[in-house]
Homo-oligomer: A and B are copies of this chain.
């Protein structure tokens, strides 16, 4: 389906419920909210499914669009949701339409608008909103700027390309409030998060001349810093800031004492091979698993596997 066909399809329906993904990120929330706004401008009744996992930064974006209790949708749209299992918790309907950019999309929806060359789903929704309304409001541009920047680490991730930056330029021209978005999503963190980062960096461990970097986050550190799950954004990326590191392990102690492990690596080493040894999985350069041991013991077990996979 192309953008025009998708816009035509949407115009034929009404009473939309738009659903975001599990563990929502800025791309799913920003894209879904912008689409909802555009549908309303077309005279449609449209709401977002109230994803119970929206966090402190995401809630204000979704707020104006949340479906009231008892709303009965006639057409559902999944935005940035790769598989049916990834649909927001508690959402029990199928998807009439899926708008997505994940190459791993499992084609679960009745109809779909998939552009897997896009860095962010927000780039797809930008084109769709133009096809729907002929224009884009400032608020929609801001929502889509959240989508674009959060999914590309503010143009720092390797998925950033010329088209990403062109879309960013277009959104700024449309009035996206870059200063406040950057402040809220990239620049500012809570004092608790700063304290936690301080503890993590102060206690980082380096092995094999710095090729392996390990960050341990214990319950004690979480308690002392006062950090809450709202402060956990991209904690797994901190260990990877070390120059020369090839494998980065972030081991966070869970409330029950087990260890949640995030592995990041360069292309040399397969993160998913490391996590597979513990029943986890993921991608070549980013994977995760849970180990039913306290962090210190989990670190020992992980190091054994890392040394086998990356001798």
Contacts and interface: CB of A to CB of B under 8 A. Distances in A.
Contacts of A179: 158
Interface size band for A: 35 or more
Given A162-B170, A172-B162, A200-B198, A191 B156 contact: no
A204 B197 CA distance: 12
B156 A165 contact: no
Given A161-B172, A169-B169, A172-B161, A243 B154 contact: no
A187 to B, nearest CB: 6
A91 interface: no
Copies of this protein in the assembly total 2
Interface string A265-290: 00000000000000000000000000
A108 interface: no
Contacts of A243: 188-191
Interface string A153-179: 011101011111110111011000011
A23 interface: no
B198 A204 contact: yes
Interface in A78-99: none
B198 A201 contact: yes
Contacts of A186: 156
A23 B43 CA distance: 57
A241 interface: yes
B170 A168 contact: no
A197 B241 CA distance: 12
Nearest to A196: B201
Nearest to A237: B187
A188 B242 contact: yes
A262 B80 CA distance: 42
Given A166-B169, A190-B243, A201-B201, 4 more contacts: A156-B182, A160-B172, A162-B169, A198-B199
25 contacts: A155-B168, A156-B186, A162-B169, A162-B170, A163-B169, A165-B169, A165-B172, A166-B166, A166-B169, A168-B169, A187-B241, A188-B241, A188-B244, A189-B242, A189-B243, A191-B206, A191-B210, A191-B243, A194-B201, A194-B204, A195-B202, A197-B198, A198-B199, A198-B200, A198-B201
